[in-house]
Amino acid sequence: MTQEIRDTDYRVWFEAEAGTAALRFEGSIRLRPHDYEPLWSFLVAALDGKPETLTLDFRTLTFLNSSGINAVYKLAVEMRKRGGLKLLVLSNDNAWQKKSLPNLKRFLPGTEIQIS
């Protein structure tokens, strides 16, 4: 099953199969804080299928503003609340990713980050 949310500058899509789910991000996301609600709802919906592992793939996302990074941190907190979920983060050598994504481990210990 694949679902997506998109705008002119970005695309986020969700793929699920037995026990795993992946949220893939592409483009540049620069929304105002109150404009993140539809995207936040989309992110949380990825947990509804109760995957054992959730992958966040940021390799083709060139920019995510602080409001978007906060939404990702909130997702990690939500995963911790639900318990028993593993988070795998795929990133590239982009400066914002190197600075912000390692902090996910503070919100969800055991998070694995792979930089390619």
Q: Where are the domains of the chain?
A: 2-115
pLDDT at 55: 97
* 44 vs 41: CA distance, rounded Å: 5
The CATH number of the domain covering residues in 2-115: 3.30.750.24
Q: What mean pLDDT value characterizes the chain?
A: 92
Token representation of residue 36: 């993140």
pLDDT surpassing 70 at residue 34: yes
Residue ranges in 1-116 assigned as alpha helix (H): 37-45, 66-82, 95-100, 104-107
pLDDT at 1 over 60: no
Contact 54, 88 (CB under 8 A): yes
Q: What tens digit of pLDDT does each residue of 39-80 get?
A: 999 999 999 888 999 999 999 999 999 999 999 999 999 999
Return the pLDDT at 2: 63
